[in-house]
Structure 1
Amino acid sequence: MFYNSTRNSEVKVSSAEAITQGISVEGGLFVPETIPQLSLDEIKSIGDMKYADRAAYIFAKYLTDFTEAEIHYCTDNAYSTRNFETESIAEIAHLFDGTYMLELWHGPTCAFKDMALQILPYFLTTSAKKINLDKKIVILVATSGDTGKAALEGFKDVEGTSILVFYPEDGVSPMQKRQMKTQEGSNVGVCAIKGNFDDCQNGVKAIFTNDDVKKSLDNKGMMFSSANSINWGRLVPQVVYYVSAYAVLVKDGEIELGEKINIVVPTGNFGNILAAYYAKHMGVPVNKLICASNINNVLTDFINTGVYDRNRQFYATVSPSMDILISSNLERLLYIMTGRDDALIREWFGKLASEGRYEVNAEVKAKLKEEFAAGFCDDSQTKATIHAIYEKYSYTCDTHTAVAVKVYNDYKETTKDNTKTVIASTASPYKFSAAVLEALEGRNSDIDEYDKVGRIAELSNIPVPAALAELRNKPERFNDVIDKSEQKEYVLRTLSI
C-alpha cells in the first residue's frame, strides 16, 4: 500500500514515510492509493478479538510496509489497561433502544484523541527506524483543546522527539487549559495564541511548508512531523473503533451481521467522521454518516449546499473542540470523491486560502448528499440536551456529545429513519464542567472548577477520572501567550535555532 498527496497524485510514499513526514512537501495530505476491504465474515471475527488485536488486524491492511511484529508492538503498548481505564478500551453504552454511545474517552486525557495519540508515538518512532531516519522529530500541534493534551501525554519523554503545542488563549475549557499548562515531560512545550483555532492551525501549516525553516531544522539534525489528524498515522487508528463498534454490536446480538447502522459524529476538523467514512468504504454496513456541528456550522452548510465558506462570524462555544472554520480533513474526502483529481483539489483549496470560499461541482454535491446528513445546534440547545438526557436516562454527556445527540434527534424527527445508530461520545463531561453543571442544575454556579467536578460526580455517579482529579495540585509550567504572527519565531527560539 502506497500513499499519494491530495495536491500531487504523482507523489508515492510508503506508510512509514507518510507518517514521519506528516504532510506532503507541497501542502497536500497523504491518502492511501486504495481503501482496503473487509468481508462481513472478517468483521464478525474481529468481534471475538481484544481491542489491540482488532487494531492490528486493520492496520495490517494499511501499513503494509510494517511487519506483523512491528504492528503488534505498537498496538499492544498503546491499547492496554496501563493507558485506558477499561479493558474494552472503547465502551459502548446503550442509551436507549437502538441507539448506542461509543464512549471514546476512557484514556489518559479523557478524550477521544487518546484512541489515536496513544499509538502515534509508537507508529512514528517505528517508522523512523524503518526508513533509517537519524533526525530528531519535532512534533508541531495546533489544538482546539483535546488534541494538544493527548499529543503531549503520548509524546512526553519519547526518545528522539520533542513536541510543541499551540492553543487559542480563550478557545479551550478551563480544564483543557489546566491539562496543558501542567504537562510533565522534558521534551514538551505549550504556548497560547491570541486568536482562534484556525489561527493556530494556519500558523502550524505555514511553518511546516516554509523551506527556510525546514532547512534550518535540517542543519540542526531535526525535522517536523505532525500529531494533528493531517497525519495519516493519527487518522487510521480512528477507523478502528468504528469497525470495532460494529463487530461488538454483532457479537452482542444488538444487530444482525450485514444490518446497516447510522453513525453520528460531533465534528470540527472532519477527521473523526472521515474515519467513519473509511470504515464504511472498507465494508462496514453504514446507512448514513451524520455530521453534527455547533453554531460554527461551516460543515453543515457545506454538506447541504456544496459551498464551503469560512467568511463568517467565529463563535467561542461550550463545545470548543468544534470551534473550527477550516476543516482540514475535508480535503481527503474531496480528493476521493473527485476520483483523485489533484488539480481540482489545488483549485478549490487555493480559493479557500485566497478567497475563503469554494464551491464543489454537481457530481461531488450529489455524492455528499448520498453519504452524509448534517445539522447543528447552538449552546442553549446543547445544554438543554445534556439536561434532557440526564433527566430521561440518568446519563451525563459532555458538550460535544450533546451536539451529536441533538443533531441526531433532529435528523430522526425529519427523516423518520429508525436505523440503529452509533453516536461517537468524544469526551468526559468533567472536561467541560462549567457548562455541564449549568445544564444539569439549570443555573450558573460560582464555585471553582474542582468543586464543579465534585458536584457533577454527586449528580452523575460517574467516577472522576484520576488524571483530572490530580490536576488540582499540579504546578503550572507553561504560561506563554503570543500573537499569531509570532509562531514561527517562537518555534525557532524554543528549538534554539
Structure 2
Amino acid sequence: MNKFHSTRSTTDSLTAKQAIRKGIADDGGLFVTDALGNANVNVAELPGKSYQQIAYEVLSLLLDDFSEQELRDCIERAYGAQWSDERITPLKQVGSDYVLELFNGPTCAFKDVALQILPRFMACTKPESDPNEQIMIVTATSGDTGKAALAGFADVPGTGITVFYPQGKVSRVQELQMTTQQGNNVHVSAVDGNFDDAQTEVKRIFGDAAFAEQLAEHHVKLSSANSINIGRLVPQVVYYFAAYAQLLEAGKIKVGDEVEFVVPTGNFGNVLAGYYAKRMGLPVRDLVVASDRNNVLFDFLVSGTYNKQRPFYETISPSMDILVSSNLERMLYYLSCNDPNLVADCMNDLREWGAFEVPEMLLQKIRHVFNTGWANEDQVREMIADCWNKHQYVIDPHTACGYFVMQQMPRDPEVPRVLLATASPYKFPRVVNESLGLDATGTDFECMDVLSKATGTPIPAMLRNLETAEVRFRDDVPVAGMEQFVADSAAQL
C-alpha cells in the first residue's frame, strides 16, 4: 500500500485517505509517496477507453487504499452530466498542434477536473475514531480554484468550505462566480493583499496548533482544496493519459511515441501532474512551464535560484499571478532522489530569506524534464488574436501564455505538441475582446455577447447567468483577520 509522508521529513506514514483528509503535513510540507512510479499505466491499452475508465486505471495506482467500489463511485459522480463534453477533456487540433480543453466542467476552468472529485474522495475518509468530525476546507485562490472548490463542496455532508481571494486581483466574472455561490456550508471573503499573502496565511493557519485544538473541541478539522492537497493533485494526472489516448485513437502517434506538453502554470500543480504521469509510464518528451510576467518559475528553471523578493505584477492572466509556487517542493523532493533534508533547507531559506538555490547537479536533472518560457501582456494579447486569426479558435489569456511559449519553441515534426487550455475565454471576455479588436467598453456580460456574436462560439450559461445572480458574500478582511473568519465559519458547521 502507498504510504504518504511530508516532502520535508519521513516521519509520517499515512494512507492516501489520511493524507487527503489532513491536506498538509504538520511540518508545513506536502504529502508525497515514495511508491510513485512503482506501478505504471499500460498506455497500449488506453485507446477506446472512456475518460472514466482511464481515471480508474490511473487513480487506482495512486490511491490504493480506496476500494474499487469507492473509487468507481467517486469517478462516476465527478465526471457525469455536469460536463458539457462527454470526453471530459477533449483534444482539439489547432493548426499543426493540439489543444487539450480542460474547461468543460461546471465552472469553466481546469480546476473542475480535480475539484469535482475531491469532495467525493473526502466523503470516503471519515475516521472511525470520531464519526462526528467535520471538515472545514480552507483555500486561498488566485481566481479559478475558489469557484471550483465552492461548486464541488457546496452542501456536501460533513464539510464546510471557506475561500479567500485577493481583493481586486481576480476578474469580475471570477469574483461573481464566488460571491454568488449557493450552499449552506460555503463562506467567501476578499482579502486585502495578493494571492501569495492569502496563501501564506492559509498555510500558517494550518500550522497553528492552538487553533487546531480550539477547532477539535467542536469536532472540526481543517483541510485544503488547493493543489497542496494530494487529493487535488492526482486527478489532474488523468488528463495527460487521456490526451495520449486521444492521439493514439486519431492515429497521430503510435504506442511509445513521445509527446510534448505546454502547460500554463502558477502554483506548479498543473505541470507537476504531468511529471507524475511521466513517472507512471507516459511517454513525455518535455513538460514546458509557461509563465506570465510574474515569471519566478522561468527564472528558477533557468538559473536554479528561486527568488520571491521581486515585484508582483497584476496581469491580464490573474490566476498565474503567483510568486510562491507551492507544488515546486514536490518536484524538488522527487528530482533530488527523495531528499527531504534538501527540501526542508530550501523551504526554510525561502521563508527566512525569500530565496533558495539548488545544487547545479539537481538543476540539470530538473532542466532535463522541464523546459520553460514566459509571455508579457502585449504578447498574450497578440497570441489571442493570432490563434483566432489563423485557426478560428478562441483562447483565454492564461492559455495564450502557453500558446506564445509554444510558438517560440523549436518544432520537432515527429513529436506532437499539446497545449493545455486552462479556462474558457468567456471568463475573461474584456481582455479577449480587446485582443481581437472587438468592443470592450460595456460590462463583462455585454463583452460576452459581443465575443459570441463575432466568433460564433456559445457562451457557457453558468457564466452568462451571473449577471442576474444574487451576491451573497461581501466580506473583505485583512490578512490578519483570516483566522477569525475561519473560526466564525467553522462555528456555523
Q: Distance in 2 between matches of 1:131 and 1:30?
A: 22
3-state DSSP of counterpart to 2:21: helix
Q: Distance in 2 between matches of 1:335 and 1:131?
A: 32
Task: State yes or no: 1:56 paired with 2:69.
Answer: no
Q: Distance in 1 between matches of 2:193 and 2:408?
A: 32
Q: Distance in 2 between matches of 1:495 and 1:130?
A: 21
Amino acid at match of 1:433: P
Q: CA RMSD in A?
A: 1.4
3-state DSSP of counterpart to 1:12: coil
Q: Distance in 1 between matches of 2:56 and 2:147?
A: 25
Aligned twin of 2:423: 427
Offset at residue 496 of structure 1 (A): 3.1
Task: State yes or no: 1:342 paired with 2:340.
Answer: yes
Q: 1:393 aligns with which of 391, 394, 397?
A: 391
Amino acid at match of 1:62: L
Q: Distance in 1 between matches of 2:156 and 2:232?
A: 17
Q: Deviations over 1:342-364 (max 9, x none)?
A: 11111110010111000001121
Amino acid at match of 1:89: I
Q: Deviations over 1:111-131 (max 9, x none)?
A: 000000000000011122577
Q: Distance in 2 between matches of 1:108 and 1:489?
A: 31
Q: Say whether the 8 Å CA contact 2:198–2:479 is kept in structure 1.
A: yes
Q: Distance in 2 between matches of 1:36 and 1:69?
A: 24
Q: Say whether the 8 Å CA contact 1:399–1:436 is kept in structure 2.
A: yes
Task: State yes or no: 1:176 paired with 2:171.
Answer: no
Task: State yes or no: 1:293 paired with 2:291.
Answer: yes
Q: Say whether the 8 Å CA contact 1:296–1:324 is kept in structure 2.
A: yes
Offset at residue 196 of structure 1 (A): 0.5
**How does 1:116-265 map onto structure 2 within 5 Å?**
116-128=114-126, 133-265=131-263
Q: Say whether the 8 Å CA contact 2:39–2:61 is kept in structure 1.
A: no
Task: State yes or no: 1:89 paired with 2:88.
Answer: yes
Q: 1:489 aligns with which of 479, 484, 488?
A: 484
**How does 1:396-407 map onto structure 2 within 5 Å?**
396-407=394-405
Q: Distance in 1 between matches of 2:325 and 2:11?
A: 24
3-state DSSP of counterpart to 1:8: coil
Offset at residue 132 of structure 1 (A): 6.1
3-state DSSP of counterpart to 2:121: helix
TM-score, normalising length: structure 2: 0.97
Amino acid at match of 1:86: D
Q: Distance in 2 between matches of 1:95 and 1:469?
A: 26
Amino acid at match of 1:420: P
3-state DSSP of counterpart to 1:137: strand
Amino acid at match of 1:307: T
Amino acid at match of 1:475: E
Offset at residue 198 of structure 1 (A): 0.2
Aligned twin of 1:74: 74
Q: Say whether the 8 Å CA contact 1:140–1:227 is kept in structure 2.
A: yes
TM-score, normalising length: structure 1: 0.96
Amino acid at match of 2:94: L
Query: What is the percentage of aligned positions where both structures have the same residue?
Result: 41
Q: Deviations over 1:281-309 (max 9, x none)?
A: 11111111100000000000000110000
Q: Distance in 2 between matches of 1:331 and 1:39?
A: 23
Offset at residue 34 of structure 1 (A): 1.7
Q: Distance in 2 between matches of 1:402 and 1:130?
A: 47
3-state DSSP of counterpart to 1:313: coil
Offset at residue 489 of structure 1 (A): 1.7
Q: Distance in 1 between matches of 2:111 and 2:129?
A: 27
When residues 133 and 352 of structure 1 are mapped into structure 2, their CA distance, relative to the original with a 3 A threshold, is farther
Q: Deviations over 1:155-185 (max 9, x none)?
A: 0000000000000011101100010010100
Amino acid at match of 1:359: E
Q: Distance in 1 between matches of 2:397 and 2:406?
A: 14
Offset at residue 418 of structure 1 (A): 5.8
Q: Say whether the 8 Å CA contact 2:136–2:161 is kept in structure 1.
A: yes
Q: Say whether the 8 Å CA contact 1:263–1:421 is kept in structure 2.
A: yes
Amino acid at match of 1:191: S
Across the two proteins, how many residue pairs are aligned to each other?
491
Q: Distance in 1 between matches of 2:385 and 2:335?
A: 39
Q: Distance in 2 between matches of 1:303 and 1:417?
A: 25
Which structure 2 residue ranges, 5 or more long, are not aligned?
none
Which structure 1 residue ranges, 5 or more long, are not aligned?
none
Offset at residue 416 of structure 1 (A): 6.1
Q: 2:354 aligns with which of 353, 356, 360?
A: 356
Q: Distance in 1 between matches of 2:129 and 2:301?
A: 39
Q: 1:479 aligns with which of 465, 474, 478?
A: 474
